Amino acid sequence: MAKERFVAPFVLEYSYKRSLGPVLSRFMTGLQACRIEGSRTVDGRVLVPPSEYDPETGEDTGELVEVGPKGTVQAWTWVAEPRPDHPLQQPFAMALILLDGADTALTHAVDALESDMTTGLRVKPRWRAERVGHIRDIEAFEPAS
Amino acid sequence: MSEEITLMRAPTRLAYTVWAGEVTDTFLRALQDRRIVGRRCPGCQAVFVPPRGSCPTCAEAPGAEVEVAQVGTVTAFSVIRIPFEGQVLDPPYACAHVQLDGADTPLLHIIGQVDVDDVQVGMRVEAVWAEVIEPTLASIRYFKPVGTQ
């Protein structure tokens, strides 16, 4: 006799809160005010998102400087079937975006047609109306006219 | 000027769909009939409750289904006194390994109808069934000391 198979949802979740530290704290606070900041290294490069230290030399970074808001797509991959936790629920590009004034790229979503996606595409952030101080205060980047 | 943001929620979340599988399936179906069953290892003859897909000692697939008693002995326990997110019961409560008579492995469950400070290793306990019986271990509400009204 065919029996019904027992199937159940099982969610494993660790509801962590992390402290941001002085640099990311400043970065997130800036996002809430629609400002994107990077940290300047000893040799003058600007890391975005900012880091407390230069990953290449291990030295402390210095002042935070505002970058963007426009930037250039350096690389991208098309997400045809977004999952529930993705930033957008319609197909989008996940991209490395080099913001103007930055030397490292930020990973974020680009809300554009697949046919418009190309490396070198100029993009600008689309800010949420309700911002909480989180990278998702930028809902996505979109092509800049 | 907005307040400084110093914390970020960073949950790790994995949403699975679990298929019970043949061995757990028989265990869960028996609970629907208010029976507790295990499976006997054809190698070492140990009765596993709950049953498992293979014997960790012999690596044998499980053999015959064995019904065990609804009375057993607390072999280990821990009193949970602190709250945490997603907690189902209100602390304090006692979580215990209950080795049912006829079983060779302990079943992890809750001890009820007794002050948590009175729970002891060696205590004899019996299953209390929930009002609503479903094919889940929650059909056993908890284990209470034998004879407790």
pLDDT tens for residues A64-100? 999 989 999 999 999 999 998 899 999 999 999 999 9
Q: Decide if B88 touches A, using CB distance below 8 A.
A: no
Q: Decide if B32 touches A, using CB distance below 8 A.
A: no
The answer to whether the CB atoms of B25 and A28 lie below 8 A apart is no
Residue B27 neighbours by CB under 8 Å, 6+ apart: B37, B38, B49, B50, B51
Residue B8 with chain A: CB contacts under 8 Å: 17-18, 20, 24, 28, 134
> Do B16 and A8 meet the contact criterion of CB atoms below 8 Å apart?
no
Q: For position B85, what pLDDT does the model report?
A: 80
CA distance A52 to chain B (A): 15
The answer to whether the CB atoms of B8 and A17 lie below 8 A apart is yes
The pLDDT profile of chain B, 149 residues, written as one tens digit per residue, is 568 889 998 888 898 998 988 899 999 999 999 999 999 999 999 999 999 999 999 999 999 999 999 999 999 999 999 998 888 899 999 999 999 999 999 999 999 999 999 999 999 999 999 999 988 889 999 999 998 87
CB pairs under 8 A between A and B: 83
For residues A83 and A77, give the distance between their C-alpha atoms in angstroms, rounded to a whole number. 15
For residues B121 and B98, give the distance between their C-alpha atoms in angstroms, rounded to a whole number. 10
Q: In chain A, whose CA is at the least distance from the CA of B3?
A: A29
Pairing of strands B124-129, B107-111: unpaired
Residue A23 with chain B: CB contacts under 8 Å: none
Buried b (16+ CB within 10 A) or exposed e, A80-94: eeeeeeebeeeebbb
The answer to whether the CB atoms of B5 and A9 lie below 8 A apart is no
Kindly calculate the radius of gyration of chain B based on its CA atoms and give it in whole angstroms. Answer: 19
Q: For position A33, what pLDDT does the model report?
A: 94
> How many other CB atoms are found less than 10 A from the CB of residue A47?
23
The answer to whether the CB atoms of A16 and B13 lie below 8 A apart is no
For residues A122 and A140, give the distance between their C-alpha atoms in angstroms, rounded to a whole number. 13
Considering only CA atoms, which of B136, B140, B108, B143 is closest in space to residue B29?
B136
- How far, in Å, are A87, B45, B50 from residue B125 at the CA level? 51, 24, 17
The answer to whether the CB atoms of B25 and A8 lie below 8 A apart is no
> Do A48 and A36 meet the contact criterion of CB atoms below 8 Å apart?
yes
Q: Decide if B5 touches A, using CB distance below 8 A.
A: yes
Q: For position B120, what pLDDT does the model report?
A: 96
CA geometry: angle B72, B73, B76, nearest 5 deg: 135
Using 70 as the pLDDT threshold, list the residues of chain A that sit under it: 1-3
Q: In chain B, whose CA is at the least distance from the CA of A34?
A: B2
Considering only CA atoms, which of B64, B50, B45, B31 is closest in space to residue B130?
B31
Q: Decide if A17 touches B, using CB distance below 8 A.
A: yes
Q: Decide if B11 touches A, using CB distance below 8 A.
A: yes
Domain boundaries, chain B: 21-145
Q: For position A3, what pLDDT does the model report?
A: 66
